[in-house]
Amino acid sequence: APLSGQKEEPCGAELCTSMEGLCDTVVGVLGGGQLGRMLCQAASPMGIRVAVLDPMENCPASSIAYRHAVGSFRDTNAVRKFAEGCGVLTVEIEHVDVDTLDALAKEGVDVEPKPSTIRIIQDKYLQKVHFREHGVALPEFMKIDNAESAEEAGRIFGYPLMLKSRRLAYDGRGNAVVRSKEDLANAVSLLGGYERGLYAEKWAPFVKELAVMVARGRDASVSSFPVVETTHKDNICHTVEAPARVSSGVAKLAMDAAEKAIRSLDGAGVFGVELFLLADGQVLLNEVAPRPHNSGHYTIEACFVSQYEQHLRAVLGLPLGDPSMKVPSALMYNLLGEDDGEAGFALAHKLLQKAVSVPGASVHWYEKPEIRRQRKMGHITLVGPTASVVRARLNSIIGSTESSNN
């Protein structure tokens, strides 16, 4: 059925025989991990059909997707074949075959956000160049090609500095902290050598990390979810607290920076914007994801529209929903594999068991085919009347040893 809002014949054959609810466009998602899974979950109540392309037979989205094409989102033939059955293509991971997406878009296939956006974002160095050119404040950075340029970065930025892989980075895999000049060579080889494509970033002495999910409609209008506070452990997202406990001035700065960044990109969808808050109140951009994001999981329980539903609305050209919170406070806790294999599931299992009896706690398990150490296996979101209540509820699950880490 058309989305135009025009009234159809009251009972035209088309309407009566069609299976579709809100729209009949099949949304094709490159990637079938937990983000793809939650996109499928959000699509289900609206009768929207989400197909996923993922190489893993039993990927997290496979059991609930409208269709799961087994194939690689980095393989041109797989992507092309997948696209044939979809009305719009989008991504749940940025590390995809963007050349093929680009070619498809030129052939008239609808890709959201635009391949140009995915191309900029998938190379973190190009991403930083792009945002610097668009006047978004971010830590100083420079490309590293050899030992000389690495040492030069050390001279200019001082130590510690952050060495990063340009491509294929996630959950801190691709980052190395360099504490001194002597540390450089080791960090470089840890990241796979100069050939891997590296850049250096000045250390950001943040007092907090903030994040904002920004939705961009097909008409280029932007709409932001609340500013949240994130904590990381070993470079991996650990907790997300919403709303962020910052002044309204800081929240506005964060939101303005995030929206400025997203306005500089092309195409529809939700974008995860990670930010550093410095002691002097400055807000710097860390990075952007062109898709739903870990820092937006909390929106499922805490906002009028979740980031997943919002992403679907955006790419389909439906009106964007209300991103504001419908509860006063929310806290998300990531469940990571403790170890490889079954043993790594013991703690997460215990936490899940505890969480189901805690008021306001929602349990998410991704059904990953393999438990791996430090991999995201699920998450728990707590909602409640105040930040201290949700914090106490989380502590009743994880034990107060970990209690408020700030």
Q: What is the binding site for ligand ATP (CB under 6 A)?
A: 139, 162, 164, 169-172, 174-175, 201, 203-204, 209, 232, 235, 274, 286-287
> From the CB of 308, what's the least distance to ligand ATP, in Å?
18
> From the CB of 22, what's the least distance to Mg ion, in Å?
32
- The residue (of 82 and 199) whose beta carbon lies closer to ligand ATP is 199
- The residue (of 164 and 313) whose beta carbon lies closer to Mg ion is 164
Q: Which does 32 bind (CB under 5 to 8 A by kind): Mg ion, ligand ATP, none?
A: none
With left for phi above 0 and alpha for psi between -120 and 50, is residue 271 left, alpha or beta? beta
- The residue (of 102 and 171) whose beta carbon lies closer to ligand ATP is 171
- The residue (of 164 and 364) whose beta carbon lies closer to Mg ion is 164
> From the CB of 204, what's the least distance to ligand ATP, in Å?
4
Rg (CA), the chain: 21
> From the CB of 162, what's the least distance to Mg ion, in Å?
11
Q: Which residue is nearest to ligand ATP (CB)?
A: 204
CA dihedral (163, 164, 170, 173) positive or negative: negative
> From the CB of 277, what's the least distance to ligand ATP, in Å?
12
Residue 314: how many other CB atoms lie within 10 Å: 27
Q: Which does 238 bind (CB under 5 to 8 A by kind): ligand ATP, Mg ion, none?
A: none
| Token digits of residue 33 | 């991990």
Measured at the alpha carbon of residue 123, what is the angle toward residues 160 and 366, in degrees to the nearest 5?
90
Distance CA 115, CA 62 (A): 25
Q: Which does 97 bind (CB under 5 to 8 A by kind): ligand ATP, Mg ion, none?
A: none
Distance CA 261, CA 247 (A): 21
Query: Tokens 């998410």 identify what position?
Result: 364
Q: Which does 174 bind (CB under 5 to 8 A by kind): ligand ATP, Mg ion, none?
A: ligand ATP
- The residue (of 23 and 138) whose beta carbon lies closer to ligand ATP is 138
Distance CA 42, CA 66 (A): 12
- The residue (of 174 and 290) whose beta carbon lies closer to ligand ATP is 174
Binding site for Mg ion (CB under 5 A): 274, 287
The DSSP output letter for 375 is -
C-beta of residue 94 within 8 angstroms of C-beta of residue 267: no
Q: Which does 204 bind (CB under 5 to 8 A by kind): Mg ion, ligand ATP, none?
A: ligand ATP
- The residue (of 31 and 217) whose beta carbon lies closer to ligand ATP is 31
> From the CB of 399, what's the least distance to ligand ATP, in Å?
24
> From the CB of 375, what's the least distance to ligand ATP, in Å?
12
Distance CA 261, CA 213 (A): 12
Q: Collect all residues with Cβ–Cβ distance below 8 Å to 32 and sequence separation of at least 6.
A: 52, 53, 54, 56, 59, 60, 61, 62, 65, 68, 92
